[in-house]
Every structure is written in C-alpha cells, then in structure tokens.
A and B are shown apart, each in its own frame.
Chain A
Amino acid sequence: MTGPLVEIRQLSHSFGTHKALDEIALNVEPGSYTVLLGPSGSGKTTLLSILGGFLAPQEGRVFIRGEDCTATPPARRPTATVFQDYALFPHLSVGDNVGFGLRMRGVGRSRRNAKVRETLAMVGLADAYSKKPHQLSGGQRQRVALARALVVEPAVLLLDEPLGALDLKLRRQMQDELKALQKRVGTAFIHVTHDQEEAMALADHCVVMNQGRIEDQGPPERVYSRPASRFTATFMGESTLLTGKVQDLGMDEISVATEVGPVAISASGEPGFDVTLAIRPEHITLVDVPPSVALGEAKVTDVVFQGSFKRLLAVSDKNPEVTFIVKVPSNRPVSVGDTVELFCPAADMILMSR
C-alpha cells in the first residue's frame, strides 16, 4: 500500500459558535504511534470522535486506507476505540467483553474463545477470562478494554485518554506496556492525552493541538527541541520566552532586540520582524561557557528541589516582566534572594515567528 494509512483533509467542526476544529490536516503512517497532545478544549477528543465515526464533521474528509470514511458508521470502519472510562459491558464476563466484536462479526464460538484467550494472554490477563469487570482493578480494566479493541484487528486503534483514570505510578507502567504492545501488534495507535510526558514517552509522531488547530507536529524530539510556536514551547515542556524585533542582519546571523538586551543568533530573518526566542530550562547556565549569550543578572524568587535537579525561577534585573525558568544541578548552592548571572548557548535558543 502506498500513501498514509489515515489521511485527514481540511477538517472543521463547530459546536454552536465554538470552533472545535479548524482546518485540520493530518496524516498517520502505518504502524506508527501518534499522540494528539493538547489542553482540554483544544479539539483533540473531537478529532478522535470524528476518526472513530461517532461524530460527522461539518467540513473536510477522512480517508482510511485510501477509502473515504467520512460518513461511515463506527460499526463498519476499520477503527476500534478504547474509551476513557473503558466502557466495559458490566453484565458480561471479561471473556465475553473481549469476544464481543468477534461475535458481532459472526466468528464461531470455538475460534472466538481461542482468539480471546490469546489476546487476554497478550495483555497479561490470561486468568481473568471468566471474571466480571467490577472484580478487576483499574489497570486490569484498562487492559481488558485494550484487548477488546485489539481482538478485532483494527487498522487504527483510537485511545481516548486511556491512562487518565490511573494513578501516576500505574500510568507510567501502563505507558511502557502500551508502547511495547503497539510495537508487537504493529497496529497504528492514535492516542489522545493532555499529559506531555506521556506524549513524549509514547509518540513516534506528536501532534500538539490548541484551540482547534494543530500548532506543531513531528517526532517528539524535534517538537521539543525546535517547537514551531510559542504555545508548543510552553505546553510541551517549559520554556522562558523572550520577545523582540529582528534588528541587524549579519552573514548568517541576526540580532534580536529582546526585553533583556540584544541577542545574536545564527538564523535568517527580516529586519523589523517580531519574533520570540524560547529557551529550555536545562539550557540556561549560571556560568559562562563560551560561546554563550549573556542574559544578564536575575534575582532568584523560587527554588524547588526535584531530586536530580533544582528548578529556579529568577526575575530579570533588566526587565522585571521576564521570569527565567532554570534547571541547575541539585548540588549547586542557591537560595531565594540570590542574584545570579544567566547564560545560554546561542545554538540552544529557539527562534519562532509565532
């Protein structure tokens, strides 16, 4: 097969006057793990509902395996959904829950049972076959929901905040299992979450959404290190944002007049342009390691010890509206009220035009 597995073209949808999705275009490759990341109200769940067939979009088309599925009902789509509340059938046993999709496809009892047991074993619940959903823990229910969706061998598995109801430790553990499972079955997963750590850990392809639009998409490493927008720079990990105008043009260097003084970085741009510089907390240092850009002095207002590092907030002396977020090694003595000098390697500054 050539072309993407799922192709979304110019999708728009409104609820009343609220524009939930605004001209979304997205491709999903076969066998990939795509994460839709965004705050609540960003449209990620609406997008997933449209992919699953639970909502018909007002504009745009959805192609799955090259076929126009925009108006196909959920029952006849090659997708399966893992719901946020799992939606396990409470009156059926775990085995009957997992076998439901096969039963609807007319698979005979003995083949169905064999397949159900195989899938349950794959998610580590081989002995839960005859239990009822209410006898299981949250993590186990999650696995049953996964097994129920995977057993019908969908082309795309849709997961709606699948780890949202679990506690932190279990969430991290299930996260690893999900990734391993996806690699093993090879099905394309599309996973909705508002947890950026989850997104970074799971995604092959990370899609950052905000207010119904795709802000940025790409491999999580790229989205983190080179975010395309201010929103992405602050939502996917933290950043200090400096705004300014492009001033002088050098050979392949521009100077940006920021709130804390001019900063020269290697990039191209037009003079007079408004730009934003984003700096990740781990790139700001308290010592000058050339070639670094001096960011001036700042007063430490907050220190939080986080085990392997300390997270500082420091207000710039030059412009009290700028607060730097800095990560320093935890053995470095620094306390609230100290004045520190901040530096950042020019190459680690991220230039953004929006």
Chain B
Amino acid sequence: MRVLGKLLVAIYGLAVYAFIFLPVVVLVLFSLQATSFPIPPFTGPSLRWYEAVLGDTRLTSALVNSVMVAVISSALAVGLGFLSAWGFARYHLPRAALLRGLITLPLTVSYLIIGMGILILFNTAGIPKSLAAAGIGHVVINLPLCFAIIYSQMGDNQVNLERAARDLGAPEWKVLFLISVPVMWPAIFASFFLSMTFSWDEFVISFLLTRFDTTLPVEIWNLLRSGLNPRTNAIGSLVFGVSVVLAILFELILLRRNRA
C-alpha cells in the first residue's frame, strides 16, 4: 500500500514536470531534426537548422537588436530603480507608502495594456515606432521590478556606512558611487539579469512599438506565420538557452548574497 502510494506520488511528480518541460524538450529535440518538418519521426541529430538560423541576416540582426534593447533598457531600469529605492530608503518622503505603491504598480498591469498605452501616447506625440520606443516600454515594465528587488535589500546597516563616508568628507555623489552602489552590488546585478531575462523574452510591447528593425521574439513570430519549420525550433532553443543562462546568473548572485 505504501509502495503504491510512493509510486503514485512519483508518477504525479513526473507528470507535473513533464507538463512544464515537455514542450521545451520537444522544441529543442526537433531543432536538431535533419529533415524539413519538425514532426515525428526524429531524423537527427543535425545542426543544419542552427546553421540556417545563424546564416539568416534578418534573424541575426534581430538577435543583435534584442541584446541591445535588453542591455540598454535593463541598465536604465536598474539605474532608475536604484535611485528611487535609495531615495525611499534614505529620505522621509510625504505619502511614501502611496508613492512606493505607485512605482511598483506597473508589475500588476498587463504588458498589452502598457504597450497599447505607450503606442497611443507616442502616436499622439508624433514619436515613430522604433527599437528605442520598445526599449522605453521595457524600462516601464522592468523598473518596478528592479526597484522592488533593490529596495528589499537596502537595510539600515548601510545608513551608517553612508554617514561614515560623509563624515570623512565625501560629497553626495561619491557616497553613492564609492559606497552605496558597491555595497548594493549583488542586488543591482541580480535585478539587472532579471530584467535582461524579461526584456529578452518580451513580445507584445516590442510587437506594438517596432516596425522595420525589430527584436528576436517579433522576428520569430514573423517566421511562424509561414508555418512550422525546424528553423523556428532552432532559434527558439537559442532564445531559451540564453534565458536559462540569465536566470541562473540571477539565482547564483542572489543566493550567494543571502548566504553571506
């Protein structure tokens, strides 16, 4: 009876993980397909579709665009998130709780609404669709996240460090760059990688706000419109791989921080 119970638990557990990861496994598996259709039977392994993807300038330039948008928008989101977290932690602001809530509010708004809002606003203001516009959208969605992570790690023990630096003659900007930022480095790094991950994967906002030059998820969607093709699997696997690396970096940095 107990053996049966354990068996059922194990089967249930496997089913859960299969439900989560099977699509990804299938995606990666058929990216290695040797023939032209990503459907059984498996004919690989072959790297021909990866070759095709990396030889396709539209895809590679979209990849470069994606990296650029992710890096720049994440850097901006982290910078602004750090400054606002520092402001809230160090200064007594009127209605601080309300203002903090407003900063984190975009976390609960769907990307579609944010994207549409920015699209309408930019249309009215006469700002054309571009990668920069998509980048601004990514700052909007990632800033609250960076703020929340950095603010949560900003303890009172750093207050005295900053006081000590001021006491020893440091002007405010040196206090920030020589003391506050280095001490907060793990949280800053972690939030940077997390927003990279989100920016890298983000589709709706990029789709709405870019036109000719676009990001990789939008380019993949363009590919998919012409039907299933192992090329889409290959590029999908690449995207997935990068996301995994970013997520692992985030975990490593935050875990190391928590153990210290």
Contacts and interface: CB of A to CB of B under 8 A. Distances in A.
B162 to A, nearest CB: 9
Contacts of A305: none
A175 to B, nearest CB: 23
Interface in A317-341: none
Interface string A82-120: 010101011100000000110011000000000000000
A100 B166 CA distance: 10
A89 B184 CA distance: 12
B185 A81 contact: no
Contacts of A81: 163-164, 167
Interface in B161-195: 161, 163-171, 174, 178-179, 182-183, 185
A87 B170 contact: no
B161 A101 contact: no
Given A89-B183, A91-B183, A91-B185, A54 B163 contact: yes
Interface stretch (A71-79, A203-211, A213-221, A226-234): A71-79
A37 B213 CA distance: 70
B166 A83 contact: no
Q: How large is the interface on B (under 10, 10 to 19, 20 to 34, 35 or more residues)?
A: 10 to 19
B171 to A, nearest CB: 7
Contacts, number: 60
B226 interface: no
A91 B166 contact: no
A69 to B, nearest CB: 13
Contact of B169 (A87, A90, A104): A104
B57 interface: no
B110 interface: no
A85 B183 contact: no
B183 A74 contact: no
B29 to A, nearest CB: 45
Contacts of B183: 89-91
B8 to A, nearest CB: 49
A89 B165 contact: yes
Given A89-B179, A89-B183, A91-B185, A100 B165 contact: yes
B174 A104 contact: yes
B157 interface: yes
Interface in A42-67: 52-54
Select the residue from B160, B163, B167, B182 with max chain A CB neighbours within 10 A. Answer: B167
B185 A101 contact: no
B242 to A, nearest CB: 30
Contact of A87 (B160, B174, B185): B160
Nearest to A85: B160
A87 B161 contact: yes
A83 B169 contact: no
Contacts of A85: 157, 160
B169 A75 contact: yes
A91 B182 contact: yes
Nearest to A80: B167
Interface in A139-177: 148-149, 152
A203 B167 CA distance: 24
The 5 closest A-B pairs by CB, nearest first: A101-B168, A104-B169, A87-B160, A87-B164, A74-B167
Given A80-B168, A81-B164, 20 more contacts: A53-B167, A74-B163, A74-B166, A75-B168, A75-B171, A79-B167, A83-B164, A85-B157, A87-B161, A89-B164, A89-B179, A89-B183, A90-B183, A100-B165, A100-B168, A100-B170, A101-B168, A148-B164, A149-B168, A152-B168
Interface of A: 52-54, 73-76, 79-81, 83, 85, 87, 89-91, 100-101, 104-105, 148-149, 152
